[in-house]
Amino acid sequence: MIEFIVLITGVAVFLYTLLAGADFGAGILQILPIGIDRKEKTSLIGMAMGPVWEANHIWLILALVISFNAFPQIFWFVSEWYHFPLGALAIGIIFRGASFTFLHYDPIKDGSQKVYHWFFGLSSIWCTFWIGLIVGSMMLGDFSLTDTGIFERYFKHWINPFSFSMGIFATVLMMFNASLFLTAEAKTQRMAWKKLTIKIFALLVFSGLLTHGVLLINAPERWKLFFLNPISITLIALSFLLLFAQLYTIEKNIKNLSRLVAGIQLICILGAGFVPLYPNFVLTKDGVAISFIEASAEPRVLELLCYALVFGLLFILPAYYFLMKIFKIKSED
Amino acid sequence: MDSLLAARLQMAFSLGFHIIFAVIGMVMPVLMSASYWQFIKKKNPQALELTKLWMKGVAIFFAVGAVSGTLLSFELGLLWPEFMRNAGPIIGMPFSWEGTAFFLEAIALGIFLYGFGKLSPLKHWFSSMVVGIAGVMSGIFVMAANAWMNAPQGFDYENGVYKNIDPFAAMFNDALFSQAHHMTLAAFTSVSAGVLGIHSLLYLMGRRKSLNLLAIKITAPFFIVSSLLQPISGDFAAKDIAGRQPVKFAAMESLFETTKGAPLLIGGLPDVEKESVDYALHIPKALSFLAHSDFNSEVKGLKEFPKDEWPPVLIVHIAFQIMVFCGSLLALAALLALIIMIRKKSLTDYPWLLKLFVLVSPMGIIAIEAGWTVTEVGRQPWIIYGFMKTKDALTNAPALQLTFFTYLFLYLFLMGVVTWLFYRLILVHFLQKDEA
């Protein structure tokens, strides 16, 4: 039962990272001087994101709801130890959502568009950075669960080079995903989009290596945990190899395969961070863990949550497929 | 300002902001759906124009509501971690169902917003119906979680631990029914009053008269039915609170002494130190009737309870008075409109009525804000009534005052921008005056 709930939470996190992540990345690309006309960029991003924008972001709400329902101790831990990074992320999410709405639904197109445009882009960078930082800090586990001091409990564990480098890596990863999706959607200037994707590809490899190096120097024991685990290292290697497959699909313009590869690649990256810790959610430096089993709610709660998830997905998945079919598949006909 | 007050104010502003967008997201799709049906049935092009106009409004309000709702789910954990750690598994079920309903709402809205010309009109209309139904369901599920905080059940409480959780019993708690119908009706009343007010104003200004007439015709039945049902619903809710949360009920009416045949106060300023109320109009025995349907029944006063368990009496009393005042005015406007409609006259033949609609248009939202103040402030000092005090649920994180002011600025800024955007939306569609 716990495995099923963890799986569904993982799927929600994966879909949020993939789909909403591409939205975040698109926001960043919108303000960067990437050699594509601004109006064209804005219009393409609006067309690609508009119909699915709200739905993409509800994967995050689903993951949050599952976590406080099934794993209240984990929800409590994350809320307390990541009070400030989550607070910063939340502010970014609201600015981003609001500016996207204003950008696309303001009936009068004047100077205000520029303001929305910049707010949208800057808040996209802000959000992706904090998401990466939180994930990085959890991977590092530089905290003690008995910390009560203000600095130790609320700041120390995320103010370090690895967490910051993960913030940068996540930002570049989401830009890469966005670039892939937009290259597939673009009807004009495809060559420019392709070139951009290749540039971001190089940046992604560089930031990945940087993150890896920082972990190795900063926390060699943690590096061993992730890089000497056979499953984890296989997944990392696979995600690296898939980057080349990705470039091939772009070159050959195989859109659906390109999306599929992007999805598998993200599963590999998330899996590489998750597998060495499982069945724990986090593992502190002093070896204390919060495990999914120990942090879970009573069996009756889990059982009813499982039914609710299955029942909910029976409604959501066909509807979501229908939405995608209308706007993503039909638009390519 | 201490941390507890800062956190409570932040939550109050967050909820107060979100609730406006939540009710619009619940009700506007229903109005939009009704308008679109007019277009499908009667092929009236103005109904299509109205649908698209409302649709743009829905898109703005829904999206801002979705992000402010996401923010709230963060804030629950960030400000009240102990509450979520203990209550999360108990109230998780309505939230998970709410998640499903909200997801469907978002998907259906995406289909409706971008589906013109891509779906058959009937399928397309159906998507708008799904948005409306899922929106209302979503609101009711959230209400279930809040109602549980007022009527906690579905668990055993032993040595500070919540055990043997029964999520069904928790979800279908004693407060659910009264809160759900009262809030659903409030949503319909407030949004339809707002829409009616805006279109009445534009009609009176001579802008796109036929389009505004159509909007008034579509909205008026929703306004009349919900506004006239609301006092009945309110009476039911009052009786429920009097039985279940007597201290909240006593604070609502500033009743300090337990009284048989208690009077109902209209207005008034309570003085907690002196335990008296100044400047109030007394209706003899009416409070007893409101509480127990018996003019001579006993109503418990605040002094029956330890003073440290009293909610802030002044705030609860004034908020309750505002809610009742606004609700009564709305019901009066609805009654007048109903009389005119029964006489088979057009509402637009009565400019004074349109002016009244304009006057009462913000009152639904004001009543909702006041009503939520009664519900939430009236439950203090408890976050889970009778089990966990609000101060015990608070985070230990520092600088909550700074966080509060940041969020306050953020919400005020957003409210300003949304209002400005909404104004521009109206400006574009109603720029031209009708030719004489």
Is pLDDT of A263 > 70? yes
A301 vs B: CB within 8 A: yes
Across A66-84, average pLDDT: 92
Residue A38's pLDDT is 72
How far apart are alpha carbons B277 and A107 in whole angstroms? 51
Name the residue of chain B whose CA is nearest to A153's CA.
B397
Q: Which two tokens stand for residue B380?
A: 């203090």
Residue B434's pLDDT is 60
Choose among B88, B115, B398: nearest Cβ to A72. Answer: B88
Name the residue of chain B whose CA is nearest to A66's CA.
B96
How far apart are alpha carbons B139 and B370 in whole angstroms? 18
Q: Which residue has the tokens 């698209």?
A: B52
Residue A167's pLDDT is 96
Q: Which two tokens stand for residue B225?
A: 């039915």
Tens-digit pLDDT profile for residues B11-42: 999 999 999 999 998 899 999 999 999 999 88
How far apart are alpha carbons B319 and B286 in whole angstroms? 19
C-beta of residue A128 within 8 angstroms of C-beta of residue A174? yes
What's the ipTM? 0.86
The neighbour count for residue A299, using CB atoms within 10 Å, is 11
Buried b (16+ CB within 10 A) or exposed e, B262-296: bbbbeebebebeeeebeebeeeebbbbbbbbeeee
Supply the pTM of this predicted model: 0.89
Are B88 and A84 in contact (CB < 8 Å)? Answer: no
Which residues are B289's β-sheet partners?
none
B347 CB burial (10 A radius; 0-12, 13-18, 19+): buried
Nearest to B327 by CA among B241, B227, B185, B252: B227
B427 CB burial (10 A radius; 0-12, 13-18, 19+): exposed
Choose among A60, A98, A315: nearest Cβ to B64. Answer: A98
Going by their DSSP bridges, the two strands B298-299 and B259-260 should be labelled as: antiparallel
Element (H, E) at A310: helix A299-324
Chain-centre distance for alpha carbon B332: 19
Which residues are B158's β-sheet partners?
B161
Tens-digit pLDDT profile for residues A277-291: 888 888 888 888 888
Is pLDDT of A88 > 60? yes
Is pLDDT of A15 > 90? no
Choose among B89, B109, B395: nearest Cβ to A83. Answer: B395
Identity (one letter) of the amino acid at A271?
G
Are B77 and A304 in contact (CB < 8 Å)? Answer: no
- Dmax (CA) for chain A in angstroms is 59
Residue A251's pLDDT is 78
Write out residues in chain B with pLDDT < 50, as ranges: 436
Tens-digit pLDDT profile for residues B210-246: 899 999 999 999 999 999 999 999 999 999 999 999 9
Using DSSP, state whether A279 is helix, strand or coil.
Answer: coil
Residues 121-160 of A with CB under 8 A from B: 148, 150, 153-154
Residue B424's pLDDT is 85
Using DSSP, state whether B264 is helix, strand or coil.
Answer: strand
Is pLDDT of A333 > 70? no
Q: Which residues on chain A are in Cβ contact (under 8 Å) with B59?
A: 101, 105
How far apart are alpha carbons A103 and B191 in whole angstroms? 25
How far apart are alpha carbons A293 and A275 in whole angstroms? 15
Name the residue of chain A whose CA is nearest to B92's CA.
A69
Q: Which two tokens stand for residue B28?
A: 């506007």
The DSSP secondary-structure symbol of A272 reads H
DSSP states along B63-111: HHHHHHHHHHHHHHHHH-HHHHHHHHHHHHHHHHHHHHHHHHHHHHHHH
The DSSP secondary-structure symbol of B319 reads H
Closest-CA distance, A233 to chain B, in angstroms, reads 33
Mean pLDDT value across chain B: 91
How far apart are alpha carbons B436 and B433 in whole angstroms? 9
Q: Which residues on chain A are in Cβ contact (under 8 Å) with B163?
A: 298
Element (H, E) at B41: helix B3-42
Using DSSP, state whether A287 is helix, strand or coil.
Answer: coil
Is pLDDT of A331 > 60? no
C-beta of residue B270 within 8 angstroms of C-beta of residue B314? yes
Are A312 and B99 in contact (CB < 8 Å)? Answer: yes
C-beta of residue A95 within 8 angstroms of C-beta of residue A119? yes
A52 vs B: CB within 8 A: yes
Are A315 and B100 in contact (CB < 8 Å)? Answer: yes
Are B421 and A66 in contact (CB < 8 Å)? Answer: no
Element (H, E) at B216: helix B209-244
- At residue A54 the predicted structure's pLDDT band, cuts being 50, 70 and 90, is low
**Cβ contacts of B351 within 8 Å, gap of 6 or more:** B204
B305 CB burial (10 A radius; 0-12, 13-18, 19+): middle
Q: Which residue has the tokens 């039911």?
A: B236
Are B99 and A65 in contact (CB < 8 Å)? Answer: yes
For the ranges A55-64, A147-156, B98-107, B388-397, the one whose mean pLDDT is highest: B388-397
The neighbour count for residue A93, using CB atoms within 10 Å, is 25
Name the residue of chain B whose CA is nearest to A54's CA.
B106
Residue B392's pLDDT is 95
Q: Where are the beta strands (DSSP E) in B128-275?
A: 156-158, 161-163, 259-260, 264-271
Choose among B75, B77, B398: nearest Cβ to A150. Answer: B398
The neighbour count for residue A38, using CB atoms within 10 Å, is 14
Residue B436's pLDDT is 46
How far apart are alpha carbons B36 and B30 in whole angstroms? 10
φ, ψ dihedrals at B350, nearest 5°: -120, 85
How far apart are alpha carbons A17 and A29 in whole angstroms? 17
Residue A27's pLDDT is 85
Residues 211-270 of A with CB under 8 A from B: none
pLDDT above 70: percentage of residues in chain A = 95
Closest-CA distance, A57 to chain B, in angstroms, reads 9
The DSSP secondary-structure symbol of B261 reads T
Tens-digit pLDDT profile for residues B288-336: 999 999 999 999 999 999 999 999 999 999 999 999 999 999 999 999 9
Q: Where are the domains of chain B?
A: 3-244+311-429
A34 vs B: CB within 8 A: no
Residue A25's pLDDT is 87
Q: Which two tokens stand for residue A58?
A: 């509800």
How far apart are alpha carbons B95 and B98 in whole angstroms? 5
- CA atoms in the 13 A half-sphere facing the CB of A104: 27
Is pLDDT of A131 > 80? yes
Q: Which residues on chain B are in Cβ contact (under 8 Å) with A64?
A: 73-74, 77
User: If you count residue pairs, one on A and one on B, with CB atoms under 8 Å apart, how many are there?
Assistant: 217
Chain-centre distance for alpha carbon B165: 29
Q: Which residue has the tokens 């018996």?
A: B294
How far apart are alpha carbons A136 and B239 in whole angstroms? 53
C-beta of residue B355 within 8 angstroms of C-beta of residue B291? no
How far apart are alpha carbons B254 and B299 in whole angstroms? 12
Q: Taking the CA atoms of A247, A252, A255 and A258 in sequence, report the sign of the dihedral they define.
A: negative
- At residue A293 the predicted structure's pLDDT band, cuts being 50, 70 and 90, is confident
**Cβ contacts of A251 within 8 Å, gap of 6 or more:** A194
Residues in chain B: 436
Using DSSP, state whether B431 is helix, strand or coil.
Answer: coil
Residue B423's pLDDT is 85
Closest-CA distance, B77 to chain A, in angstroms, reads 5
Q: Which residue has the tokens 């699915």?
A: A52
Q: Which two tokens stand for residue B145?
A: 């979680």
Q: Which residue has the tokens 């668990």?
A: B155
DSSP states along A20-68: IHHHHHHHHHHHS--SS-HHHHHHHHHHHHGGGHHHHHHHHHHHHHHHH
Which residues are B183's β-sheet partners?
none
Closest-CA distance, A55 to chain B, in angstroms, reads 5
Closest-CA distance, A229 to chain B, in angstroms, reads 33
Using DSSP, state whether B364 is helix, strand or coil.
Answer: helix
How far apart are alpha carbons B310 and B389 in whole angstroms? 12
How far apart are alpha carbons A237 and A232 in whole angstroms? 9
Choose among A60, A72, A148: nearest Cβ to B85. Answer: A72
Annotate B160-189 with three-state secondary structure.
Answer: CEEECCCHHHHHCCCCHHHHHHHHHHHHHH
A66 vs B: CB within 8 A: yes
